[in-house]
Amino acid sequence: MNEHRTQRTARIKDVARIAGVSTATVSRTLSNPDIVSEGTRRAVLEAIEETGYSVNLSAQNLRRQRTGGILALAPNLANPFFSEILSGISDVLRGAGLNLIVGDTAIGDDARLRLVDYANRSRCDGLIVLDGSLDPEVFMRSQCPPVVQVCEWIQGLAAPKVLADNERGAGLAVDHLVGLGHERIGRLAGPEKNTLTQARDSGFGRALGRHGLVPDVVYRGDFSLASGQRAAEQLLGARNRPTAIFCDNDEMACGMMGALRRAGLQVPEDLSIVGFDDIELSRHLTPALTTVRQPRKALGTRAARTLLQQLDGVDVPNETRVPVSLEVRESTAPPAR
Amino acid sequence: MNEHRTQRTARIKDVARIAGVSTATVSRTLSNPDIVSEGTRRAVLEAIEETGYSVNLSAQNLRRQRTGGILALAPNLANPFFSEILSGISDVLRGAGLNLIVGDTAIGDDARLRLVDYANRSRCDGLIVLDGSLDPEVFMRSQCPPVVQVCEWIQGLAAPKVLADNERGAGLAVDHLVGLGHERIGRLAGPEKNTLTQARDSGFGRALGRHGLVPDVVYRGDFSLASGQRAAEQLLGARNRPTAIFCDNDEMACGMMGALRRAGLQVPEDLSIVGFDDIELSRHLTPALTTVRQPRKALGTRAARTLLQQLDGVDVPNETRVPVSLEVRESTAPPAR
DNA sequence: TTGTAGGCGTTATCAC
DNA sequence: GTGATAACGCCTACAA
């Protein structure tokens, strides 16, 4: 209870002195309590309590040759889609005593250069990559710690992936729309080179094919609300509209729906819309959005667990598929006669 | 170019040996290039290039008595409101060579205990707190590094705050509604003990007072879409409805609006709604939401800069107010006659 | 301008 | 069971 003037935070030495043992014993008490005797342990714990000691992580990390941190690389921190995945990652890492360090890859030109610094054993013990547009080479150098990819993935990077079942999701959307009677089904897709978009494109095409149909118009967006709005404007200007649109995420669907309704078009009466992700908002829209549900938190936790296994030297599957499901709400209906 | 079998990553010693200098010189070349001679510098940089050396941060941190990380504590990573602030923080920290470590405070019962471990100099060089519901004591212990609070703040914690001008925001909303002719203005507020809600409550009441009015009904929510929906249900069941509602954030406003419209009520014809935050979504809703704009990214960057100044020993203002503005859109109109 | 050397705080190895 | 002690990799007086 006595206040020292110099509030220097306690070191392991201080604890050792007060407990009347060596620093080695203090260290053991903390990391391997079973091998110290009952009495010593108690003395040490008391001294720790008294001094308010907590281990210096920089020193511990140096000694243990690790950093205690996992770096998550996301294209856009501000996007709720990614932040919920991060939340899942965070949960798992905390349990493992690891810090979650986040890196926003959506920055200036120097971002790619910097990445080399970050993908380094001295910076982090592992990487979780949520951005499929990054250069694979960075992650293939020997200094780079283990990597896991989530949601999106990088062409040519062999690191394990944790993915939603995108093909199946697209299939569910198509089956639903065709079941309602739609035959002219368009698409609001993500960027052409995005692996996730490609997977859904392929699922979309195949599912249509099973029903003897072919894709109608395809618009390109960038997953933003604004790009949904832009696609709606294109759609409104077109002569021959599809009766339904399958969007690559809920935000674009939402942006599109807003613009369409503002222009006087009725959803779903004039046009059915299906989204992807099932962000929380979707059920609160009017009309509530029919969408393919993607368990984002689960994607995050799975990714983090996969990475931890890798760090433990356990073999992990090259690809983990997380199931998706269709949430049918109000934005889809049979096409107008 | 020669591949070693053991891909041991290069140390400062290796660089020194190859460059034919001492490790001290290598270190100086990196941290203070001006004090080494032109030729030596070039030799060292070449050796660094050749070995692919990058400094070991654990060692550097230990030596420098720092951690290289700033911990941001947010109540809910999955909430886009916070994630955009984090994005601003991330930008600034990266520029300063600091890692952004994120901690989700919305976790199990043990969270509060753990906090003590995290608010520690050996864990991070500084803290940015986005959660006003935390225990102030944790941040007042001597082991705790400098703290900055953003958006919300903790009663009894003296750490500098970076805040939106909540009182004024509420005032803008009220002035707008009163200007439209509303006299019975209700409120969908956040939790009673939330400091941010309190500030807006007070701004709300004062602004009404200036117009000779008093607050109408007050609903309590928790900033979630779902709680907006619940408030709408209460509202729908009430006899004597206000003609306008001022909500503490856009998500509650959105949840409320969705539920009202689903029940057949027209916004803004039957009820005007004003939100707070101006999240990206708000302009895409139908009707587009009138809301108080809060520059979230700026809040993040200001907070981060304030913290960096504190770390540099610069005096910082106890409170920084970031201006807000009213975005008038479609969800507000004169009250029905 | 450059080199030498001690120490940052911890843990693992080796004795006892 | 416990205690010395030698690293972990880097930086910075101090000396040259």
Please name the member of B7, B225, B258 whose beta carbon is closest to the beta carbon of A286.
B258
Task: Compare all CA atoms of chain A with the CA of B281 and give the residue at the minimum distance.
Answer: A225
Indicate if B190 and B290 belong to the same structural domain: yes
Q: Is the pLDDT of residue B311 over 70?
A: yes
Indicate if B318 and B248 belong to the same structural domain: no
A287 in a structural domain: yes
- Tally of domains within chain B: 2
Write out pLDDT tens, residues B260-270: 999 999 999 99
Indicate if B146 and B191 belong to the same structural domain: no
Q: Is the pLDDT of residue B192 over 90?
A: yes
From the Cβ of B33, is strand D under 7 Å away? no
Mean pLDDT of B214-226: 95
Interface residue A266 vs chain B (CB under 8 A): no
Asked whether the beta carbons of B64 and A64 are under 8 A apart, the reply is no
Output the pLDDT for position B109. 52
Write out pLDDT tens, residues A80-118: 788 889 999 999 999 898 999 999 887 655 555 578 888
Output the pLDDT for position B114. 76
Nucleotide nearest to B63 (CA to C1'): C8
Indicate if B122 and B269 belong to the same structural domain: no
| Beta strand residue intervals within chain A, DSSP E | 69-74, 99-104, 126-129, 147-150, 161-164, 185-189, 218-220, 244-247, 272-277, 290-293, 319-322, 325-327
Output the pLDDT for position B110. 53
Q: Which residues of A touch B83 (CB under 8 A)?
A: 77-80, 82-83
CB contact under 8 A, B83 and A83: yes
A302 in a structural domain: yes
Taking CA atoms, A151 is separated from A114, A337, B246, in Å, by 23, 38, 38
Indicate if A183 and A235 belong to the same structural domain: yes
Q: Tokens 């059915």, residue? A: A272
B14 in a structural domain: no
Between positions 302 and 331 of A, the ones with CB within 8 A of B are: none
Output the pLDDT for position B78. 76
Indicate if B171 and B257 belong to the same structural domain: yes
User: Chain A closest CA to B265's CA: distance in Å?
Assistant: 12
Output the pLDDT for position A1. 37
A32 in a structural domain: no
Contacts with A287 (C-beta within 8 Å, 6 or more apart), sequence order: A257, A267, A268, A329, A330, A331
Indicate if A67 and A182 belong to the same structural domain: no
Size of interface A-B (CB pairs under 8 A): 160
User: Chain A closest CA to B143's CA: distance in Å?
Assistant: 6
Output the pLDDT for position A156. 94
Indicate if B187 and B150 belong to the same structural domain: no
Write out pLDDT tens, residues B94-149: 989 899 999 988 765 555 557 888 899 989 999 999 999 999 999 998 889 999 99
CB contact under 8 A, B261 and A286: yes
B332 in a structural domain: no
B30 in a structural domain: no
SS3 per residue for A69-127: EEEEEECCCCCHHHHHHHHHHHHHHHHCCCEEEEEECCCCCCHHHHHHHHCCCCCCCEE
Please name the member of B67, B107, B141 whose beta carbon is closest to the beta carbon of A58.
B67
Indicate if B72 and B157 belong to the same structural domain: yes
Give the end of a domain, one of B275, B294, B313: B294
CATH (domain of A90): 3.40.50.2300
Output the pLDDT for position B4. 40
Parent domain of A271: 166-294
State which residues between 52 and 111 of chain A bring their CB within 7 Å of strand D: 59, 62-63, 65
Q: Which residues of B touch A280 (CB under 8 A)?
A: 225
CB contact under 8 A, B101 and A103: no
CB contact under 8 A, A78 and B80: yes
A37 in a structural domain: no
pTM: 0.91
B118 in a structural domain: yes
Indicate if B237 and B209 belong to the same structural domain: yes
Q: Which positions of chain A have pLDDT values less than 70?
A: 1-7, 107-113
Pairing of strands B325-327, B290-293: antiparallel
Nearest alpha-carbon partner for A302 in A319, A315, A314? A319
Indicate if B259 and B151 belong to the same structural domain: no
Question: How confident is residue B53, by pLDDT bands cut at 50, 70 and 90?
Answer: very high
| SS3 label, residue A52 | coil
Indicate if A117 and A187 belong to the same structural domain: no
Between positions 89 and 128 of A, the ones with CB within 8 A of B are: 90-91, 94, 99-104, 107, 114, 117, 120-123
Residue A212 in tokens: 């003897």
